[in-house]
Each structure stands twice: as C-alpha cells, then as structure tokens.
Homo-oligomer: A and B are copies of this chain.
Amino acid sequence: MPDFEPQDPDFEARVRASFGRQTVMTTIGARIERVVPGEVEISLPFRADLAQQHGFLHAGIVTTIVDSACGYAALTLMPPGTGVLTVEYKANFLAPASGVRFLARGRVVKPGRTLTVATGEVVAVADDDTERPVVTMLATMMAIRERPGVAD
C-alpha cells in the first residue's frame, strides 16, 4: 500500500468523532478499531438478531460496516471542513458470513480532491481465531464541501 499524507493533522479524532455520530453502529454493536492514514478497521460481534434467513449475518449488515470502513478510510485523507458521502459501491460475497465476529477493513486506492476510490474487505473470525474472507468491496467516496449538515 502506498503511504498517504493526511491533510488534517487531527484526522484520527475527526474520524472517531464522526463514527461516534453513526447511531447505527451503536445499534448493531460495531466499534471502530484502527484509524491510520488511508485505512480504517471496524469490528462487529455476531448477533443472532442481525441475521438473514439461514442464520448468517445479513449481507446488508456486512456491507454497513465495510461501507463505513471505506468511507472513513477516505475521510482520513480529506482536508478539514469537508464531509464524506458514499457515491456507490460494489460488493462480492465470497462465503456466507458465519463467525463469532467480523472485521471490516477499508483502504484508499486513489485519493482525489472530489472522489476517492477505496477497497474494503470483511473477514469472519471463528471461535478458534481463524479468519476467512467473506466480502470484497470496491467503492467510490465523495468529499462534500459547503453543504449544510454534511460535515465530518
């Protein structure tokens, strides 16, 4: 991975504060684990009340954590005063999301003034700590300037 130079020296506090405002993360039980320039990790313990019909974690919940990981990875490299929104993403589901917890990692591929491209992955961790990839994502994030209510 290339080394990225953050434009905001307070990027970590800024990302963690914004994550703290994502009420859905508290609702599902996700935590932000790691915030470095161009990369963010979010963890989520399995919960039976977030499942799809076969008892696996629902694809949309897996997507929820990896979307935020990608978005915040992008935000680490944005200048102060901008907000981040998801333009679009694509996710491939590599295996059913079964495990005791899930770790989503977002990484910037190409930062830009307006658009940032990021990749994400989610691994399922079993109770013996073995990891298995369950999702790979390719996402486009947008830096928002001067839109009321959209700042991070």
Contacts and interface: CB of A to CB of B under 8 A. Distances in A.
A88 B83 contact: no
Interface string A45-69: 0001111111100111101110110
Interface string A66-89: 011000000000000001011111
Contacts of A96: 85, 150
A55 B148 CA distance: 12
A103 to B, nearest CB: 16
B87 A24 contact: no
A51 B115 CA distance: 23
A34 interface: no
Interface stretch (A3-11, A123-131, A132-140): A132-140
Given A60-B67, A63-B60, A68-B60, A92 B52 contact: no
Contacts of A24: 49-52, 58, 60-61
Contacts of A27: 49-50
